[in-house]
Structure 1
Amino acid sequence: MTYQEKKSIVSLISAIIIFGSYCLYMYPRLPAGGLESEETFRYWGSFVLILTVVSIVAHIIISIIFNIVFRITTREKEPAFADELDRLIELRAHRNSFFVFILGFLFAMGSLIIYQPSQVMFMILVISGFISDVTGSITKLYHYRKGV
């Protein structure tokens, strides 16, 4: 298994663990008041902002730990360059990831059109962000295994 495949698997697993553990942490704090209360908007705003920061920091830390463990176990360095195949795979992963997020964004806006509570919009946005992250990792793994 190549470095890129291992990195994609670690990224996929870490995205699932980070999102799942953060949701389990935040679920008990869900406000019980009215669906359109100011507290609800504050909750979802903090949910998204804190999830973004926690996710970025956790991914950086996990990437550093992965590189250290990879170097210790294989006695190889991380590849210092990315060739055309790496760039093409990265572009396809970003394209698929953005497509999934934009689709989720459109569904979230559509939920407002059909008079769903604002909580539904926030849930769709958060879930589509998570699914887009997973889609990008799966796309990279698929293309590194099967080719372009």
Structure 2
Amino acid sequence: MTYQEKKSIVTLISAILIFVAYCSYMYPRLPKGGLESTETFRFWGSFVLSLTLFSIIAHIIISIIFNIIFRMTTQEKLPTFADELDKLIELKAHRNSFFVFIVGFLLAMGSLIIVQPSQVMFMILIIFGFISDVIGSVTKLYHYRKGV
């Protein structure tokens, strides 16, 4: 298994664990009041911002730890450049990820049009943000295994 495949697997697993851990941490803090209260909007705003920061920091730390462990266990140098294949796979992964997120964004805005509570919009955005992250990692793994 190549470095890129291992990194894609670690990224996929870490994305799932980060999302599940954060949601299980925040779920008990969900406000019980009215659906359109200021407290509810504050909760969802802080949920999205905190999840973004938590996810970025956790991904950086996990990437550093993965690189250290990979270097220690294989005694190989880490790739310092990306060839055309790596760039093409990265572009395809970004394309698929952005497509899924845009679909989620449109569904979230559609939920407001059909007069759903604003919480539904936030949940759709958060869930599709997570799914787009997973799709990006799965796309990379697929293309590194099967080719472009």
1:128 aligns with 2:119: no
1:100-142 Cα distance to aligned partner (Å, 9 max, x none): 0000000000000000000000000000000000000000000
Please give the residue correspondences for 1:1-148 in structure 2 after superposition, counting only pairs within 5 Å: 1-148=1-148
Unmatched runs of 5 consecutive residues or more in structure 2? none
C-alpha distance in 1 between matches for 2:144 and 2:14 = 19
Alignment coverage as a number of residue pairs: 148
Unmatched runs of 5 consecutive residues or more in structure 1? none
* TM-score, L = length of structure 2: 1.00
* TM-score, L = length of structure 1: 1.00
SS of the counterpart of 1:33?
coil
SS of the counterpart of 2:32?
coil
Percent identity between the two aligned chains = 82
What is the CA-CA distance between 1:77 and the residue it aligns to? 1.5
What is the CA-CA distance between 1:68 and the residue it aligns to? 0.1
Moved over 4 A (4+): none
RMSD: 0.3
